[in-house]
Amino acid sequence: MRQQSKESIVILFISAVLALNYPFLDLFDQAWMPFGIPVLYLYLYLLWLAIIVLLIIVVERSEIREPGERGAPEHSTPAAALDHAPRVDAVTRTDGANSAESP
């Protein structure tokens, strides 16, 4: 995991702790009920969903992928360039004879 990802996770954690504490919870503790759901419950569940989605995004972007894995950028490793290199089908011997023609 990259250092930037660790910092993002710490920032997300601190933001979540602040958002789930008294001053913000008190803002949403009202009698108004959109869709029949108390605003406080709606706030808690939507915030919980947002934290999970943001955490998934941060972790997915920070993973180090092997070349050829799904989602890996092509320019990330030099091994990806080897996939397009021409391949030699027959191995030649030092005496010049082709291995396909050997007895």
Taking the C-alpha atoms of residue 49 and residue 55, their distance in angstroms, rounded to an integer, is: 10
SS3 at position 92: strand
Residue 103 is assigned to a structural domain of this protein: no
Quote the domain boundaries for residue 17: 3-64
Residue 86 has what pLDDT? 56
Residue 96 is assigned to a structural domain of this protein: no
Residue 63 has what pLDDT? 79
Residue 72 is assigned to a structural domain of this protein: no
Residue 11 is assigned to a structural domain of this protein: yes
Taking the C-alpha atoms of residue 11 and residue 9, their distance in angstroms, rounded to an integer, is: 5
Residue 24 has what pLDDT? 92
Residue 92 is assigned to a structural domain of this protein: no
Domain tally, the chain: 1
pLDDT in tens, the chain (103 residues): 788 899 999 999 999 999 999 999 999 999 999 999 999 999 999 999 999 999 999 999 987 767 776 665 555 555 555 555 555 555 555 665 555 555 5
Alpha carbon distances (Å) from 6 to 10, 47, 101: 6, 21, 59
